[in-house]
Amino acid sequence: MDGLGRIVAEHPFFAGLDLPFRELIAGCAKNVRFEAGDYIFREGADANAFYLLRDGRAALEISSGEGPMVTFQTLDPGQILGASWLVPPYKWDFDARAIDRVRAISLDAVCLRTKCEENHDLGWDLMKRFVPELSARMQAARLQLLDIYGRKS
């Protein structure tokens, strides 16, 4: 397995993934790098990738309507970034910004969706990996909101 295939296979998100699926996914992969402060993606833009974070941290941000952007979650190496590629209309729901230099594997969304349509077992395996991740992030956001707004004076 080549360098990208090995990196994909060793990423915690894909732990235990069958070799044929790792090879299919690696065919959609490329290395990317973002400098501190760079936007990885912006709200409303096409969700054309998802990312396996290797080094550096990324902030997930939303607009507060007035004033500065609000960071609602910080992601670390070993985590994934971006799930909007899974859900039509395939647009980002928030911004992602590099806190420091980020090295990641970018997985092309069109390539992955095509491979999942062609191989439903691959699609099912990916969904089983994404749903717990998304559920955990929703729970973390819920707890953060309770911490901020749940206390009555």
**CA 93 – CA 47 distance, rounded (Å):** 9
Q: Between 136 and 44, whose confidence is greater?
A: 44
What confidence tens digit (pLDDT) does each residue in 124-150 have? 999 999 888 888 878 877 776 676 666
CATH code assigned to 3-149:
2.60.120.10
Q: How far is CA 131 from CA 10, 15, 31, 50, 126, in A?
A: 20, 15, 25, 14, 9
What confidence tens digit (pLDDT) does each residue in 77-98 have? 999 999 899 989 999 999 999 9
**CA 123 – CA 111 distance, rounded (Å):** 12
pLDDT of 36 above 60: yes
